[in-house]
Amino acid sequence: MAIIEIENLTYRYPHTEQPALRDLSLQVETGEFVAVIGANGAGKSTLCYTLTGFVPHFFQGELAGRVHVAGLETKDHHLEDIVLVSGLVFQNPFNQISGAKFSVYDEIAFGLENLGVPREEMPPRIERAMAMTGIADMAGRSPYDLSGGQQQRVALASMLVMEPKVLVLDEPTSQLDPLGSREVFAVIRELSREGMTVVMAEHKLEWVAAFADRVLVLADGQLALSGPPAEVLTSPLLESYHIGQTRYTSVARLVEAEGGWPAGEPLPVTLEEAEVSFKAALISPQMNAD
Ligand SMILES: Nc1ncnc2c1ncn2[C@@H]1O[C@H](COP(=O)(O)OP(=O)(O)OP(=O)(O)O)[C@@H](O)[C@H]1O
Ligand SMILES: [Mg+2]
């Protein structure tokens, strides 16, 4: 059985007419790094809540279908038990801060205290999480006196330290600068290589292309596309779902429109692919015809 199995999930928030997720089926294997993309309101956050039990236990509403995560059928288990195996990094880092602790270090320790982790095991785990997220020098600062991007790193660290089997991240780099975003993607990639299963809602397509194993497209609450980044991110359907493309694909499409793209050469989605395919385009007969 896959670590995440969703079958025919339809979910409606309370007091709403239209379901936020519609007849969605999905399997994710252990250690897979899956990125979820989609327009505003497509259902990315709702899917994140569903994978971590907040739907239906916190948001209530009407859920049909099956959601099985890390051995638990979510609707049959309490949220307290689900969050031990499937952790969520919220879209807004402010929502992650406990409000109970006055330093970054204690904030990150908070989850471990709740887990009942022995005191002596805490420091190495906390220090590793802080190092991985680049906040080692902020241990004594108040979680409230940080920039949005710094808070986002603290939120990520406080989830990583719990070492959940499934890590769900809702736009965890939305407030990070470009290099910070790449660092976070690289850390997540590393953790997935170590066996953590990752589902990440994200708009930054260049990093999705470079780091994710698979890309899901949500459109209007439905799973519209699922496949390797090179395939999904060059799909001609993306525009109809209000999704852009990587800068590499954009430039390649311009060259293609001018008739300069070699027949059969795939459109690139990463810098490495762009280097290969633009070299091929430069030596192709079409470009040298006149
Ligand atoms: N708490 C809520 N109560 C009622 N409806 C909600 C609630 N949260 C989200 N919705 C609705 O559910 C749908 C999916 O919203 P969701 O937040 O999952 O989208 P999203 O893809 O995360 O968008 P964004 O890119 O803006 O974060 C939208 O139509 C939204 O209006
Ligand atoms: Mg969202």
Mean pLDDT of the chain: 94
Handedness of CA 182, 161, 228, 51 (dihedral sign): negative
Measure 39 CA to ligand 2 centroid, in angstroms.
9
Q: Return the best residue to mutate from 17, 21, 24, 46 for the ligand 1 pocket (most ligand atoms within 8 A of CB).
A: 46
User: What pLDDT does residue 290 have?
Assistant: 47
Nearby residues for ligand 2 (ion, Cβ within 5 Å): 44-45, 91
User: What CATH number labels 4-235?
Assistant: 3.40.50.300
pLDDT digits (tens, 9 = 90+) for 246-261: 999 999 999 999 998 9
Q: Return the best residue to mutate from 18, 37, 40, 205 for the ligand 1 pocket (most ligand atoms within 8 A of CB).
A: 40
State the distance between the two ends of the chain, measured CA to CA, in whole angstroms: 58
Measure 98 CA to ligand 2 centroid, in angstroms.
21
Residue of higher predicted confidence among 288 and 53? 53
Residue 191 has pLDDT above 80, yes or no: yes
* Closest ligand to Cα 36: 1
Pocket of ligand 1 (CB under 6 A): 13, 16, 20, 38, 40-46, 59, 91
Sheet strand arrangement including 72-73: 21-28, 4-12, 62-69, 72-73
Measure 82 CA to ligand 1 centroid, in angstroms.
22
> 115-122 contacts: CB < 8 A, separation 24 or more?
115/84, 115/162
Residue 279, amino acid: K
Return the percentage of the chain with pLDDT > 70, whole number: 98
Residue 206 has pLDDT above 90, yes or no: yes
Measure 90 CA to ligand 1 centroid, in angstroms.
13
Domain with CATH 3.40.50.300 in the chain: 4-235
- Ligand 1: atom nearest CA of 18 is 29
pTM as predicted: 0.95
User: Once rounded to an integer, what is the mean pLDDT over residues 215-233?
Assistant: 98
User: What pLDDT does residue 288 have?
Assistant: 47
User: What pLDDT does residue 94 have?
Assistant: 86
User: Once rounded to an integer, what is the mean pLDDT over residues 270-290?
Assistant: 78
Categorize the per-residue pLDDT at 289 as very low, low, confident or very high, splitting at 50, 70 and 90: very low
User: What pLDDT does residue 209 have?
Assistant: 98
DSSP 29: -
User: What pLDDT does residue 40 have?
Assistant: 97
The angle, 0 to 180 degrees and rounded to 10, between the axes of the packed helices 148-160 and 178-193 is: 10
User: What pLDDT does residue 285 have?
Assistant: 61
Q: Return the best residue to mutate from 22, 44, 173, 242 for the ligand 1 pocket (most ligand atoms within 8 A of CB).
A: 44
